[in-house]
Structure 1
C-alpha cells in the first residue's frame, strides 16, 4: 500500500493563478472567489499533486503524510 497524503492550501497566500488546477486537475479546484482548495482532504500520493505544490507561485500548498504528519512539501530546511 502506498503513502496517503494530506494536502492543504493556505488561502491567505493563494492568489488564484490556477496553476495547481492545470497541473493536477483532479487534485485541486478553484472556488467562486478563485481560491484553490484540494478536492479531497486526504488522497493517495500523486506526482501531479506534488508538481502542483512545487509550481505554486506563492508556495501556498503543503503536503504531509496522512499517517504521521511528516512534511512532504515544502522541504524542511
Structure 2
C-alpha cells in the first residue's frame, strides 16, 4: 500500500493485489479495512496478464537437452479513496 492524493484532495491509497494466488478480492478487502464503514471510491483499477519464460540447457559429448518453463503472473492494482 502506498499513500497518494485523489484529484479532489482526499488521501488515497494505491493497493497492489498482484500474483497468481491473489485476486481482486484482496484489494477490495484491503480497501474495506482502510475505510471501514465510510466506504470507498475506486479511482483507478488496472490489470495485466504477463508470462515469464525461461529456457535452460545442458550438453555433453553424448547428449544435449533443453528445457523451458513458463510462469503466468497477474499484475493488479487499484487506487481508492475513502468516502467522507
Structure 1 and Structure 2 fold alike (TM over 0.5): no
Bigger Cα Rg: 2
